[in-house]
Amino acid sequence: MGNENLHEILKDITLLKQKLDNKEVKKLKLDLVERIINRMGILTKECDECTEALNDLTIIITRIKDKHNELDKQDYKDYQSLLTQLTTHLEKKHKLIREGHYTNLYMSLGIALGLPFGAALDNIAIGIPIGLSIGLAIGSSLDADAKKKGLII
Tell me how far, at minimum, the Cβ of 134 lies from Zn ion, in Å. 35
Asked if 50 interacts with Zn ion (CB under 5 A), we say yes
Asked if 142 interacts with Zn ion (CB under 5 A), we say no
Residue count, binding to Zn ion (CB under 5 A) = 5
Judged by CB, which is closer to Zn ion: 43, or 107?
43
- CA dist., res. 59 & res. 37, Å (int): 13
Distance in angstroms between the alpha carbons of the first and the last residue of the chain = 20
Closest alpha carbon to 59 in 86, 35, 79: 79
Contacts (CB under 5 A) with Zn ion, residues 57-116: 93
Judged by CB, which is closer to Zn ion: 89, or 101?
89
Are the CB atoms for 114 and 127 separated by under 8 Å? yes
CB atoms within 10 A of CB 112: 13
Determine which residue in the list 8, 24, 34, 49 makes contact with Zn ion, applying CB under 5 A. Answer: 49
- Burial string for 2-41 (b: 16+ CB within 10 Å, else e) reads eeeebeebbebbeebeeebeeeebeebebebbebbbebbb
Tell me how far, at minimum, the Cβ of 146 lies from Zn ion, in Å. 18
Tell me how far, at minimum, the Cβ of 80 lies from Zn ion, in Å. 20
Contacts (CB under 5 A) with Zn ion, residues 19-48: 43, 47
- What residues line the site for Zn ion (CB under 5 A)? 43, 47, 49-50, 93
